[in-house]
Amino acid sequence: EVQLVESGGGLVQPGGSLRLSCAASAFTFRNYAMSWVRQAPGKGLEWVSAISKGLSTYYADSVKGRFTISRDNSKNTLYLQMSSLRAEDTAVYYCAKPETTETTGGGMGSPFDSWGQGTLVTVSS
């Protein structure tokens, strides 16, 4: 069974930095584009960032220039380096896997069939 396990969340002050990790198992990680999706408390889902198999990266306008997505295929792990954090970045961050390996533009063309349990990031002084 596919498993995605996020870690690295916590309380950080505005302007601070945090790195999230997502450990993947039970599928061939290197063959899939991967994404981060977040959900602010009591709010809906927002796609944040994606990275393709070929390491091309994609970002929502709301995080562009502040967040960096990366992956280590030798460790089957996805990362999200977050800097210049703002109160509005407070959310549960999920990593998500597309249903198929045949995607474009960082996972487009496929829904997410597997999600992690999420890790909470709280930006507050």
CB of 37 to another protein, least distance (A): 8
Q: Which of residues 66-125 bind another protein (CB under 8 A)?
A: 94, 99, 105-113, 115-118
Site track for another protein across 38-67, x = CB under 8 A: ------xxxx----------x-x-------
CB of 53 to another protein, least distance (A): 16
Task: Burial-class residue 104 by CB neighbours within 10 Å (0-12, 13-18, 19+).
Answer: exposed
Q: Which one, of 109, 99, 88, 8, lies nearest residue 46 by Cα? A: 88
Q: Which one, of 29, 9, 5, lies nearest residue 20 by Cα? A: 9
CB of 15 to another protein, least distance (A): 25
Interaction site with another protein (CB under 8 A):
44-47, 58, 60, 94, 99, 105-113, 115-118
